[in-house]
Amino acid sequence: MFSSLWNFIKRHKKKVIFTGAVVGGVYFLGKYAQKKIQEVQEREASEYIAQARRQFHFESNQRTCNMTVLSMLPALRDAIINQLHSESLTALLKTKPANKLEIWEDLKIISFTRTMVAVYSTCMLVVLLRVQLNIIGGYLYLDNSVGKSVTTLLTPPGVQQQYLSSIQYLLGDGLTELIRRVKAAVQNSLGGVPLKQSLSLLELEQQLSWIRAEVEVDSGRPLSSYMLADAEDALADQACGLTEEDVVTIRLLNETRDMLDSPDFSKVLSTCLNRAFSRLLDNLAEFFRLPAADRPASSGPDSLSAVSLPLAKIIPIINGQINTVCSETPSLLVQELLLNDQVKEFAANVYETFSTPLELQK
């Protein structure tokens, strides 16, 4: 039997070798393919887990952004009121002073200024914190990535504290400069409007539009300049030399300035301002409605243009809006800013940029 088999192999030697090679090749090819498929599956699973982890971290970071904005609004409101203290003028008017008209004129300018500054600074706070916390969030994600050495953190705790403390500029010197700019625009627009002159809601909207145009377009100064100190100013307190953490903080601030100077940032801020001022007008519209009993049966939205109020009556209405705009209890205005789709998309792009390893960016 064995001799017959051996003779058969010798007679068909080439066929046997070829068949063996084919069978062996198929076997090893199958093993190789199986190994590669397993590697691909493991890599896809790892990428999916990493992506899910990053998405979870991003969403958590956005909740932190929202809570930070709400927690800072009372401080922003207090900072505005401290510089534009209309309450002292209101109290003075109750004493029936001889210069009553002059005080009313001052109250007019201060009331409009502080409400418009409240809208501007609230929008700035929302978008600036979105940038800063997503830059920090992106770097923290990289710092906590698997395999990342804890000895080479991109954002040590000391750097995070220094960097995030830069928001104080918006509540300090930046706010002072913004108030000066808005106040000048309010004076130019409303300074000559008599207190007895009646304005409809549409006319009031036009006044606000003129003020906005002077602040945002005619000033020649970008709104981002009120949010973050100049690089030279940031270095002014470092006369004794820079530490390693100072250098990292300055790099983060420079990256933030690049984001604030980008066209995307300008578009997002403009969207927020348009939405916020629209919501402000919605709030004011409630005071321009006729009592239900006096409304014509066919009255619609356009009927608001027929209702006018003396400027002297509009002033206290405008003056009180700051408590709605800058409130730790989320107003509709603040909610719309925090939930705005463009703000969310911009935040995601910032986070994506700074949570991607440098080698992958290249």
In the block, residue with structure tokens 């007008």: 281
Residue 45 confidence (pLDDT): 42
C-alpha–C-alpha distance, residues 153 and 252, integer Å: 14
Compare 183 and 35 and report the one with higher pLDDT.
Answer: 183
Residue 362 confidence (pLDDT): 47
Mean pLDDT across the chain: 82
Tens of pLDDT, residue by residue over 86-140, are 989 899 988 888 899 999 999 999 999 999 999 999 999 999 999 999 999 888 8
Residue 141 confidence (pLDDT): 86
Which has the closest alpha carbon to 171: 232, 127, 125, 134? 125
Tens of pLDDT, residue by residue over 161-209, are 899 899 999 999 999 999 999 999 999 999 999 999 999 999 999 999 9
3-class state of residue 119 by DSSP: helix
- Is the pLDDT score of 12 beyond 90? no
Measure CA 167 to chain center. Answer: 13
Dig out the tokens for 244 from the structure.
């390693």
Residue 111 confidence (pLDDT): 96
Residue 357 confidence (pLDDT): 76
Residue 48 confidence (pLDDT): 42
- Is the pLDDT score of 46 beyond 50? no
Tens of pLDDT, residue by residue over 224-257, are 999 998 865 555 555 557 788 888 899 999 999 9
Burial 293-314 (b: 16+ CB within 10 A, else e): eeeeeeeeeeebeebbbebeeb
- Is the pLDDT score of 143 beyond 90? no
Instruction: Kindly state the helix (H) or strand (E) to which residue 308 belongs, with its residue range.
Output: strand 308-310
Residue 242 confidence (pLDDT): 79
Instruction: Kindly state the helix (H) or strand (E) to which residue 98 belongs, with its residue range.
Output: none
- Is the pLDDT score of 157 beyond 60? yes
- pTM for this prediction: 0.82
Measure CA 348 to chain center. Answer: 11
DSSP secondary structure letter of residue 259: H
Alpha helix segments (H runs only) across the chain = 2-11, 13-83, 86-93, 100-143, 157-164, 168-171, 173-190, 201-213, 231-235, 244-260, 263-285, 311-319, 322-325, 332-338, 341-355, 358-361
Contact 166, 228 (CB under 8 A): yes
Compare 45 and 200 and report the one with higher pLDDT.
Answer: 200
- Is the pLDDT score of 150 beyond 60? no
Tens of pLDDT, residue by residue over 322-351, are 998 988 777 889 999 999 999 999 999 999
331-337: which pairs have CB atoms within 8 A and are 24 or more residues apart?
Answer: 332/279, 332/282, 333/119, 333/122, 333/276, 333/279, 333/280, 333/283, 334/69, 334/70, 334/73, 334/122, 334/126, 336/275, 336/276, 336/279, 337/122, 337/123, 337/126, 337/272, 337/275, 337/276
- Is the pLDDT score of 220 beyond 90? no
DSSP string, 347-361: HHHHHHHHHS-HHHH
* 308-310/198-200 β-pairing: antiparallel
Residue 234 confidence (pLDDT): 53
DSSP string, 166-232: GGHHHHTHHHHHHHHHHHHHHHHHHTTS-TT-EEEHHHHHHHHHHHHHIIIIIT-S-GGGGTS--HH
Contact 347, 101 (CB under 8 A): no
Give me the helix-helix angle, 157-164 and 100-143, nearest 10°.
Answer: 160
Percent of the chain past pLDDT 90, that is, above it, reads: 52
C-alpha–C-alpha distance, residues 308 and 200, integer Å: 4
Residue boundaries of the structural domains of the chain: 72-361
Band of residue 59 on the pLDDT scale cut at 50, 70, 90: confident
Dig out the tokens for 286 from the structure.
């409630």
